Structure 1
Amino acid sequence: MSDPIDVAAETPGDGLPPLREVIATHGLDARRSLGQNFLFDLNLTGRIARAGGEIDQGTVIEIGPGPGGLTRALLGAGARRVIAIERDSRCRGVLAEIAAVWPSRLETIEGDALDIDVAALGEAPRRVIANLPYNVATPLLIGWLRHASAFERFVLMFQKEVVDRLAARPGTKDYGRLSVITQWLCEVRPLFDVNPRAFTPPPKVVSTVVRIDPRPQPLAPARMETLERVTAAAFGQRRKMLRASLKALGDAEALCAAAGLDPTARAETIPVEGFAALARAVDAAGSV
């Protein structure tokens, strides 16, 4: 026997129909090829919207709004302007209905977020608040981090294992390239987990909402391109000592000495500042 549907938990006080009705009316069955899992629970969409902070200023950018549950929560929470990027043309009508309720506050861009310069959208401060399609979530984040200074905050939902990697500390099994790059540029704060049953269809994994705040300056001086190459080399052979894993970058022993690191250490034990020092050493040696 299935659980009863709590319609009140799916119907915001905005005069628009419940999300299940919206989906039925517009034929919005979630498609796996688009990484779609629709979130209906208004308690959760409200929490996500509130985690964005002062959204009555600047621009909120949402990726993959689908039937508009989070979009409605953002506008209902006072977002001054929301720019929603959606590649599924079936959602055009739904988003138009939402825009009619909040005139001049919702703009929809039909397209693939991977192909759009999100850092140039709207007015600052920019916040990206989204339940990201899991099949493109990490590439999207890496792309935005290349322009981290253009954003005030990210409030994003990923698979829990991705958030574990984003927030991982040195010496743990989840610590890796994504941890280093993200923490070098931002402060990472996991907020709360979301049970698969909150979605339609339920994903096979637990999800986690995370807040990522870009730092005024990176944690330590380095060039991002070099830092990416250094971490790729180090974590590409994470079981090996640095003197072995960094050979592709030049004289590994000399690089470690210049960075003040033990060449017998392994990548998973090196703090973010240590990788930044390695990147500076590589650039100084002209190794990359």
Structure 2
Amino acid sequence: MTGIPPEGLPSLKDTIARHGLEARKSLGQHFLLDEGICRRIATLAGDLTGRHVLEVGPGPGGLTRALLAGPAETVVAVELDRRAVAALAELEAAHPGRLTVIEADALGIDVAALLPAPRVILANLPYNVATPLLVGWLRHAAGIGGMALMFQQEVAERICAAPDTGAYGRLAVLAQWRCRCELLLRLPPGAFTPPPKIWSAVVGFTPHPEDPGDALFRAMERLTAAAFGQRRKMLRGSLKSLGDPEGLLAAAGIEGQRRAETLTVPEFDRLARILAARAAG
């Protein structure tokens, strides 16, 4: 179903003024009000025809309006700020059955319980919770059709970083292990209200078909936390907390004098599978 925003809805600036929706630093809010940019971001997760979209932190609803103007089947907007929930109520009333606004902390939501498949996540993420939200979604990426998420540019570059670079670390391994990641769009501070001090960027995530399961995902979390927690150490030293690092590395065919940033994602996968098998046995 394609929805066209009905006539008579107030502008985003009017909505902000009427509901006292000045951005709050404590919530990591920087509102995206440019309609053209919102329309462009709404297309970055691919064709949304027949898909059910989760949006986190919609604020006054700039991206929400763009999503509703497109072919998404339904949109569920999760917002913690009660002022924004009230501001979105008139948009929800204008799209009965198609837009659902939920007042909740996105860190505690179950995406699969909220939206039927095929589901997509599209969001201008609050900076202060962007990384834990991403890791939670990566854990269940097999049930998500795709994601287009906005981060601080530095975080986006870390997600997409290649091995043996300064930005490559735990977040890159987790993200690229579960998804094909691509930096799709960079936005200057002036695109937001109020302007942040840094650039932002949208990363596209296309989940790999294999679901590693909870046990293997936990093993990868433990492995990457240990490996990059002491990234200047050789792996035979940084992995000591996992027990018998020399045996773990030998079983994976990886030399103990290497450092975490030199390992490829497939090499981390080999180590994680051996670690998970040890825990299971």
Scaled by the length of structure 2, the TM-score of the pair is 0.93
The Cα of 1:258 is off from its aligned counterpart by: 0.5
Q: Please name the residue that 2:224 is paired with.
A: 231
Output the amino acid matched with 2:251. A
Matched, 1:250 2:237: no
Q: What amino acid does structure 1 have at the position aligned with 2:22?
A: D
Residue 70 of structure 1 aligns with which residue?
A: 63
Q: Deviations over 1:193-234 (max 9, x none)?
A: 111111111111110011111111169xx8111111111111
2:128 to 122, 135, 145: 135
1:94-139 alpha-carbon deviations (Å, 9 max, x no partner): 2121123222210011111111112321211111101010000100
CA distance in 2, matches of 1:281, 1:93: 50
1:103 matched to which residue of 2? 96
Aligned partner of 1:7 in structure 2 is none
Q: CA RMSD in A?
A: 1.8
Q: Residue 85 of structure 2 is aligned with which of 68, 92, 98?
A: 92
The aligned amino acid for 1:258 is A
Q: Which amino acid aligns with 2:257?
A: T
The DSSP-based 3-state class of the residue aligned with 2:198 is coil
Correspondence 1:6-155 to 2 at 5 A? 14-155=7-148
Alpha-carbon distance change, 93 to 162 in structure 1, aligned in 2, over 3 angstroms? same
The residue aligned with 2:265 is 272
Q: CA deviation at 1:286?
A: 4.4
Paired letter, 1:175? Y
**Residue 183 of structure 2 is aligned to residue 185 of structure 1:** no
The one-letter code of the counterpart of 2:161 is A
Q: In the TM superposition, what whole-angstrom CA distance separates every residue of 1:247-284 from its partner, at most 9, and x where no partner exists?
A: 12122222111001111110000001111111222234
2:166 is equivalent to residue 176 of structure 1: no
Whether the 8 Å CA contact 1:34–1:133 is kept in 2: the answer is: yes
Give, as a single letter, the amino acid of the residue that structure 1 aligns with 2:80: R
Contact preservation (8 Å) 1:119, 1:144? no
- The 3 A distance-change label for structure 1 pair 234 and 152 is same
Query: In the alignment, residue 151 of structure 1 is paired with which amino acid?
Result: I
Structure 2 SS opposite 1:135: helix
Conserved? CA contact 2:6–2:94, under 8 Å: no
Question: Which 5+ residue runs of structure 2 have no aligned equivalent?
Answer: none
Amino acid in the other structure paired with 1:45: C
Q: Give distance in 2, aligned partners of 1:280 and 1:77.
A: 41
Contact kept? 1:249, 1:287, Cα under 8 Å: no
Contact 1:85–1:111, Cα closer than 8 Å, also in 2? yes
Aligned to 1:197: 190
Distance in 2 of aligned mates of 1:156 and 1:14: 29
Flag structure 1 segments of 5+ consecutive residues without an equivalent: 1-11
Q: Which amino acid aligns with 2:101?
A: T
